Amino acid sequence: MATDDALPGCLAGVRILDLTQFEAGPSCTEALAWLGAEVVKVENPQGGEAGRSLLGRSSGQGQSQNQDSWYFLLFNANKKSTTVNLKSERGLDLVKNMAKRADVMVENFAPGAIERLGLGYDVVRAVNPSIVYAQVKGFGTGGPYENNLAFDMIAQATGGVMSITGEPDGPPLKPGATLGDTGTGMLLAISILAALYRRRDTGQGASASRSPCRTPDDRPDPRTLIKRSQPASRRARTFEHVHVYPGGQAIVGNVTHTGRGHRIKMRGKPMQRRTNEPLPLRQAPRCGARTRSGNPASRQR
């Protein structure tokens, strides 16, 4: 009988050539690594990926100045790493040989950079026709901004997430979570899994690309679909909330999402429940609890 312990190995035998950096790309390849894929990360010989020191290297007691930053560790678990000079002929040949044996190649360099290095899709497909070639590009291709760079805050601003976040009468605010970057990484991982599934039957490779600035629109909030010609109202982020406390009291309030968390305005009087009346909410099973069928119990809402 299958268990949760078997899930991390479901991509065992899949080889991924990882030429990503920062967050959108590494979050994608890390998710695949957690599922059992063998991920080999190619880094710059001069200091490695920039994310290793992006937010400062750790230098606490007992740590060296060369300790990798928590930011890098967060998105690069379960990966192997090698350093290659992609601008040298020898380094380019090495990466092509790795691509020849890989199932997936992922990159998120600046627009046009991978082609200038000599590792564009046509080149890689020539050495490995069955490879799944995945890219993250800030604004995608074919638009007026296709050559522009993009980071998470740009994606959240242009995608509309910031316009529906904040105080009702205040300016747009950026959510703390990096939805533009990690959201793109997860969508790209899904695209890669779909391409691998299709390749199993057809033997054909594929090219997949995700844009952080389009990620919010690919998972639209209903509030962004109303009156698209006008800025979305941040007042729409307020909704009714009922919380039942132990002892039978239920308090109704309004919860407003802000960039600093949740602001709760309570109204009305607590409603007292009779002690012999069952709670109207089903208690969620403990995390990891199993049903009679042996499958993990889903969490009740």
In the chain, the amino acid numbered 290 is: R
Render 117-159 in DSSP notation, one character per residue: TT--HHHHHHH-TT-EEEEE-TT-SSSTTTTS---HHHHHHHH
User: Angle at which helices 152-159 and 179-202 pack, to 10 degrees?
Assistant: 90
DSSP state of 58: B
Catalytic residue, chosen from 181, 201, 217, 221, is 181
181 counts as catalytic = yes
Distance CA 300, CA 285 (A): 7
Q: Residues 90, 124, 208, CA angle at the centre, nearest 5°?
A: 135
Torsional class of 288: left (φ above 0), alpha (ψ -120 to 50), beta (otherwise)? left
Distance CA 81, CA 221 (A): 38
DSSP state of 232: P
Q: Which of 51, 53, 22, 67 is nearest to 185 (CA)?
A: 22
Q: Which of 222, 8, 192 is nearest to 103 (CA)?
A: 192
> How far, in whole angstroms, is CA 255 from its chain's centroid?
26
Task: Report in angstroms the alpha-carbon separations of 137 from 111, 112, 172.
Answer: 7, 10, 25
Interstrand relation of 15-19 and 38-43 (parallel, antiparallel or unpaired) = parallel
Q: Which of 143, 228, 147, 217 is nearest to 183 (CA)?
A: 217
Catalytic residues: 181
